[in-house]
Amino acid sequence: MNGHPTREEDFDLYALGALEGDEKQAIEEHLSACANCARKLAEARGRIALLAFAAPAVAPPPGVKERLLREIQSGTARAEETYASKPSAAERTPGFFSDWRNALVASLAVAAALAAIFLTTENAQMREQMNSLRASFDQQKKDLAEAREEAEMFESRETRMVALAPMPGHAMTARVLYNAKMGMVMADVQAPAAPPNMAYQLWLMPKNGSPISAGVFNTAENGASMWMADVPKGTEPMMFAITLEPAGGMPHPTGPMVMTAKTS
């Protein structure tokens, strides 16, 4: 990496271990020679640690606590029995001290086991939190990539907009943005909810070949639906159409057309 990382989120992703391959190697090579970026990485690690400790504690199963308490009580009882049966001062032998030591070691071992289980529970909780954070960052990374594609599509001179016209008896409005070079379609529809067990389906009708599905949808409570879809790059549409299909959509149009638009 010749320059600084261009995305601030790269420091968080690296701290989480989410960067791989060339991205990871590039930022590691840069960090070894850039104190400013090393400071940013330290700040990112601090943020992630704070997020992890801010999560609510997860209590271990009740059975674990009861079992360990029984073990501690049992160890204490054994120590008391040893003390009660100790010989008089005149009868004491080196074995007396050995028995006390063994009883004490047993009690300490149980206490150490208790601490180890609680630490294991906390470590498992920490791993769960880190996995959750990593999944969140991965989703944010995906959302960011999609937002960049949208922005690129809006800015491209090759992007075209088509307004679909409703068929008689259908009160609907719809606009489609498409970019054949990028292989992207964006649709914005206002329509009443589809009948039960039915859904709307947007189709790209290419100049050559079979219709291509560009999304199966139903509208929200406000009657709106907006989405993006990928289609084969380089596909030149002859027209767009929306049909009413069984819920889940169909591989090819089967239902009545409710909206259509020619692209030229």
Going across the sheet that includes 160-166, the strands are: 212-217, 198-206, 237-246, 257-262, 160-166, 173-179, 184-190, 224-230
Q: How many CB atoms lie under 10 A from the CB of residue 85?
A: 9
**CA gap 137, 45 in Å, rounded:** 14
Q: Which range has the worst mean pLDDT, 46-50, 92-96, 140-144?
A: 92-96
26 vs 217, more confident: 217
**CA gap 100, 83 in Å, rounded:** 8
Instruction: Band the pLDDT of 80: cuts 50, 70, 90.
Output: low
212-244 confidence digits (pLDDT tens): 999 999 988 888 998 889 999 999 999 999 999
Residue 72 confidence (pLDDT): 56
Half-sphere exposure of 119 (CA within 13 A, CB side): 6
Q: Which range has the worst mean pLDDT, 84-88, 159-163, 252-256?
A: 84-88
pLDDT for residue 77 is more than 50 = yes
160-197 confidence digits (pLDDT tens): 999 999 999 899 999 999 999 999 999 999 999 999 99
Question: Residue 211: in which H helix or E strand, if any?
Answer: none
pLDDT for residue 70 is more than 80 = no
44 vs 49, more confident: 44
Instruction: Band the pLDDT of 147: cuts 50, 70, 90.
Output: confident
Mean pLDDT over 125-153 rounds to 75
pLDDT for residue 143 is more than 80 = no
